Amino acid sequence: MQKCNTITVPDNISSFNATISTKTTTSRAAAAEKTSLTSTPTQDTKTNRLVVINSATTALHKHNYYHPLQKQQQQRRRRSYFKREPIFVLIIMRLNLKAVLLLLTVAVVVITCAVYMRCAEFIFPRDLVRHWDPKLYAVGGGLDLLNTNNIEGDGGGGGGSSDNSVPLQDIKCLINQEYTINCKRDEEAHEIYVPFSFLRTYFDISGSMSNPSSPQTLEAMNNDVLAGGGGGVAEPQFLWMHSTAKINLPKAKYDARGLFMYFENYNVEARDRVKCISAAEGVPISTQWEKRGYFYPTQIAQFALSHYSKNLTEPAPRINILENADDVRNTWQIPKGSNLSRIWHPKFNSTVIQYETGADFDSAITLNNINQAMDLVLSVDLLLITNSSSLLVTIENHETKRTYRVHYIPADLLLSVQDDNIYYGLGGTQTLNKWRHLTRDLHIDVQKGLALESPKKSSLANKVKRSDLRVVSIAFMGIGFFDNVSLSTSNHLAHFYDAAEWFISHQDLRTGGWPNPVRRSLNGFAELKPGWLSAMGQGHAISVLARAYWHSGDKRYLRAATLGLKPYRVLSKDGGVLAQFMDKYNWYEEYPTTPASFVLNGFIYSLLGLYDLNTTAPSFIAKEAGKLFDQGMLSLKKMLLLYDTGSGTSYDLRHLSLGVAPNLARWDYHATHVNQLLLLATIDSDPIIAQTAERWKGYMFGKRAKHN
């Protein structure tokens, strides 16, 4: 049993019974014990004092064990408290602090979202977020698809008035359930507008705004006039093109003595993958598969064929003869200690210039004040006696006032640059004491020097316009002879014969081929080791030599072209270029891979070489070339449709050889296929060639094969 608790009452309350019986108090004391036996802190809001009430007093307060006078005092205090403090303060005090913070956070988030949704124009101004207007997509209204300005007017071809136009709705387009892009929706017209930047990549197409003076715009204006339209001012148009490659329609039957396809449009030496034109050989040095540079027979032949074709299509060049030692004699600056004399040369049956100077620039014999612009092709007959002999041409960019000194020296180097000095090697000591005809395009020589000087710059940054250059002076140093110095706008035949001579001097007399001195890797096929032959290179070379033989009558070219037929009869696995499809159809391989790759464009070029030799050679040689040509044409007709994809063409047949996905031809290669077939159609009337060419041409304009 627990002892009863005793409560002490103030003296002025005499009627309060101070003693509580033990039995009654026991149960109540137990109830009080269940509450808190420790002191509970609370705070008086008026006096800010901490009041501590013991557990027994709390229990009595709970069960109203107070004298009536105490209750009256307590009620008076409560009424006075309510009068002093507002009711909302009491409510806030009784709320949980965490709940208040949570409610405040939610309120801030809701208000922020509301402001963001209603004030987008403030956050993202109109000049930063473009609003698409349906009238910008009107066809025939002359409106600019890429114009961001607010266009006023009646909308032309159905665009609608700008006052009544409805803003397009931003939506997400799900592309094949793989990813999404931002699109626009015209709810009234039930149209969805997809960005052309996406379409360009997705469908491999191109497009641009037309230039009012462009041929396409002028043609559209003419068609409009013929159709009864107003014509007048050219309206801007958006040009949508599936392919930017050009189709060259043959103007006549292909002639092996004339133009080679459309190669008059080629400018091989200006290509970025051409390091320079070798001063020793006069042909391009390729960097296509090896950066240090090498002789690539296919590229050399294209260089020759392009110049041969240009010679037939361009006007006769303007030639400025500076010195020929006979009827044209110029005034040369001859420093003290240097000598220049004109002597008779019995071998040439003409007069030549002999010179002797020191090794430094100050002693050079110089022709100054040339000031020749545009005529930048230098031709000179040259013989150097010593290693210190050289030819120096000074060229100025009259726009930037920068001066370039181009040196041609007897050394085994391709190209070297030191500050404004550009060096080209004419060959080692074996080239001394030998006459040679040197033809140099000075614009190309300067251009390639700049590219080597700043290789990290883009090709456009290194470009210099031909019209910006002028020849300032020409100088000779050391000991030697020279004659026939001239500057001209072009000298295509000289470049052509430089290449033809290269094919004679670099032919492998055992195989009859022109080896490629670099490795070549094609995905999925075994790597080709240096020395591999290419049917395309063989065909191109034969086309060059056949034209050189016809043009000059020199049988050296004919013999080299005839020997070049040998690899056509040797299987590619044995070092030749011959492969067989299904052990039945002969195919001449551009890349003699294992297994065979059957590249289409290279095969057709190899056929053209055979046709050229068959047309220009004597009958006993022409017969062999004609037989190889006929075998190839049979294979082409039987296999041609294997390259048709229904929307384009395959570059090769690796999908059959390797069992992999087709290697689709880029549009420029596809255009080459079309151009080749169009040319073949002029010499072979089989309808499969012309019909296939027309169908493939349609693919370039968005046409597709019909589905089932």
3-class DSSP string for 360-422: CHHHCEEECCCCEECCCEEEEEEEECCCCCEEEEEEEECCCCEEEEEEEECCCCCEEEECCEE
CB 630 within 8 A of CB 686: no
Residue 63, phi then psi, degrees to nearest 5: -100, 15
Tokens encoding 309: 């074709």
Q: How far apart are CA 588 and CA 632, in angstroms?
A: 8
Q: How far apart are CA 589 and CA 409, in angstroms?
A: 40
Q: How far apart are CA 575 and CA 589, in angstroms?
A: 11
Q: What is the CA radius of gyration of the chain?
A: 46
Strand ranges for 246-303 from DSSP E? 274-277, 284-286
Task: Name the pLDDT band for 481 (thresholds 50, 70, 90).
Answer: very high
pLDDT, position 463:
85
pLDDT at 20 over 50: no
- Those residues whose C-beta lies under 8 Å from the C-beta of residue 287, and which sit 6 or more positions away, are 273, 274, 275, 293
Tally Cβ neighbours within 10 Å of residue 71: 11
Q: How far apart are CA 582 and CA 573, in angstroms?
A: 16
Residue 558 region by backbone torsions, left for phi larger than 0, else alpha for psi between -120 and 50, else beta: alpha
pLDDT, position 74:
60
Residue 677, phi then psi, degrees to nearest 5: -65, -40
Helices 297-313 + 492-505 axis angle, to 10: 150
Sheet holding 169-175, edge to edge: 169-175, 179-186, 191-193
pLDDT, position 593:
97
- Those residues whose C-beta lies under 8 Å from the C-beta of residue 167, and which sit 6 or more positions away, are 131, 132, 133
pLDDT at 397 over 60: yes
pLDDT, position 92:
58
- Domains, the chain, ordered by start: 169-209 (no CATH), 315-489 (2.60.120), 507-642+649-669 (no CATH)
Task: Name the pLDDT band for 76 (thresholds 50, 70, 90).
Answer: low
Q: State the burial class of residue 154 (Cβ atoms within 10 Å of its Cβ: 0-12, 13-18, 19+).
A: exposed
- Those residues whose C-beta lies under 8 Å from the C-beta of residue 362, and which sit 6 or more positions away, are 335
Question: With the C-alpha atoms ordered 633, 634, 639, 641, is the resulting torsion angle positive or negative?
Answer: positive
Helices 492-505 + 555-563 axis angle, to 10: 50
pLDDT, position 100:
74
Q: State the burial class of residue 28 (Cβ atoms within 10 Å of its Cβ: 0-12, 13-18, 19+).
A: middle
Q: What is the pLDDT of residues 280-322, one digit of tens each?
A: 999 999 999 999 999 999 999 999 999 999 999 999 999 999 9
CB 554 within 8 A of CB 504: no
Global confidence as pTM: 0.75
Residue 646 region by backbone torsions, left for phi larger than 0, else alpha for psi between -120 and 50, else beta: left
Residue 444, phi then psi, degrees to nearest 5: -65, -40
Question: What average pLDDT does range 653-675 have in this prediction?
Answer: 97
Tally Cβ neighbours within 10 Å of residue 699: 21
Q: What is the pLDDT of residues 81-105, one digit of tens each?
A: 444 555 555 565 666 677 778 888 8
Task: Name the pLDDT band for 11 (thresholds 50, 70, 90).
Answer: very low
Residue 421, phi then psi, degrees to nearest 5: -100, 125
Which has more pLDDT, 177 or 163?
A: 177
State the DSSP H helix or E strand holding residue 74, giving kind and residue range, or none if neither: helix 68-84
Question: What average pLDDT does range 589-617 have in this prediction?
Answer: 98
